[in-house]
Structures are given as C-alpha cells and as structure tokens.
Structure 1
C-alpha cells in the first residue's frame, strides 16, 4: 500500500471499476496501483472492488464498492480539485468528466481565473476544474 497522510477515499455503489476506467480515459498519466476484489465475502459481491488505488499524475485516490443499500448518497459537499496547466488540458478533462455527468457550473471565467467548472461525473463524484 502506498502510504500517505491524506488520501481521497471514494466509496461507490458497485461502480468502482467504471470509475477507474473513466479516470484512466480522462486523465493522462494515470496508473492503477492495486485492486483487490471481493470473493466469498459477506461484505461485497464477488468481483466488486474491496480496495483499489489509482494514481492520477502525482495524486493517489482510493476506491471501494459497497452494496447499493449501504452506499452513501452522492453529494457535491466535497469535491476533487484539479489545477489544469493549460486550456486544452482543462477542456479535455471537462469534456471527459461531464460526458454522462452533470455540469453544476461553467466552464466560465471567475475573477482572475481564466476557466472554472464544477462537474459531477457519471459515477457521482464531483470535481472542481480550474485553469488559472
């Protein structure tokens, strides 16, 4: 396990593999570090994700499946923040995350920021994208 003080941990209702695939498609330089699946467990359906680690650029996120009746409701109270280095990078990430998702805001300029967007992706994870 790649140990860090603080890592985002995303709990999903059986859609962790879908999220991993989406993030591998959307973000360049993405690596699936590890993935453990449930097998013969009372806690999850066989083949669903008990723990996965995905590194997006230099950031590690962890994902886990829970049965739909135990999974938390999606909320944009907490979001993942992406600091884009260029407009093409911003546009590519925005287009990938907003496909089959929900655009909450933007993309638009806000104060000194050239482009800002808030989007909930197809698996229910909310992202803030900024190109300063």
Structure 2
C-alpha cells in the first residue's frame, strides 16, 4: 500500500491567518483551497485557523494554528526551495520574504547557481530562492 499524497504542513500558534495572507500577497498565483476556523467552544481561539490548505507555485501546503502551546517553532532545516524565472525575481522575493525576518545567505552567486538567496520570513518559515 502506497501513501496517497504528501504535503508540507506548517503549524503556527496564532499567526496562520497573517502568514496565509502574506504568502498569497507574495506569490501572485497563490490561492486558498479550503479553510476552516475555530468556532466558539472549540479548542483553539475563535476565528483562528483550525485547518487550511493553500497552493503557491503549484505546491499545496497545509497549515493550522495549534491550540496546544509547544516548545518549538520552525527551523531552517526545512525550507521551501523556489526556482525563480529571473535574477530580478530572486531579488524581489528575497526582499519581500525577509522583511521582518532574517537573512541566512544574502542574494549572491555562490557558484552552484546564477543567483541564490536563503531567507527566513517574519513567521519563521525558511525560503531558498534560486535562479539557475
């Protein structure tokens, strides 16, 4: 028996709506596939994301606002690798995604591609941006 699918799953603690809005503003082809919010009396704060699926650059991603507080967050060990169509796109995405976040590798030529950047957004999610 083989699995039916595999998708990245992002767990936030109250920022899922803001992150979802941000990602859809950065990637113009992005869209929400489905979204369910916590209602009154449910485990999460009312109005936060109980479950959502969205697509950016053809990749479907799931996300939630965890009602359970935990002692961990995102790590750069997992990142979204974005194949950009131009050097300008690498520069623009890097600037937008790192705003309020951090820069692991600034936009540059590191020898393995024409132009590359690795940034973390303000939600802690990491992005590698590449122009071959």
Instruction: Please say whether Structure 1 and Structure 2 have the same fold, judged by a TM-score greater than 0.5.
Output: yes
Counterparts of residues 52-91 of structure 1 (less than 5 Å)? 52-67=52-67, 69-70=69-70, 72-91=72-91
Give 2:35's aligned residue: 35
Q: How far 1:55 sits from its partner (Å)?
A: 0.7
Instruction: Compute the TM-score of the two structures, normalised by the length of structure 2.
Output: 0.89
Between structures 1 and 2, the one with greater strand share = 1
Q: Distance in 1 between matches of 2:20 and 2:71?
A: 17
Give 1:109's aligned residue: 109
Query: Any gaps of 5 or more consecutive residues in structure 2?
Result: none
Query: Any gaps of 5 or more consecutive residues in structure 1?
Result: none
Q: Distance in 1 between matches of 2:117 and 2:88?
A: 14
The alpha-carbon distance between structure 1 residues 85 and 48, as it changes in their structure 2 partners (threshold 3 A), is: same
Kindly indicate whether residue 83 of structure 2 is the aligned counterpart of residue 92 of structure 1: no
Aligned positions, number: 129
Instruction: Compute the TM-score of the two structures, normalised by the length of structure 1.
Output: 0.89
Question: Deviations 1:31-58 (Å, cap 9, x if unpaired)?
Answer: 1111100113442111010111111121
Q: How far 1:68 sits from its partner (Å)?
A: 6.7
Q: Distance in 2 between matches of 1:18 and 1:68?
A: 19
Give 1:122's aligned residue: 122
The 3-state SS of whatever aligns with 2:62 is: strand
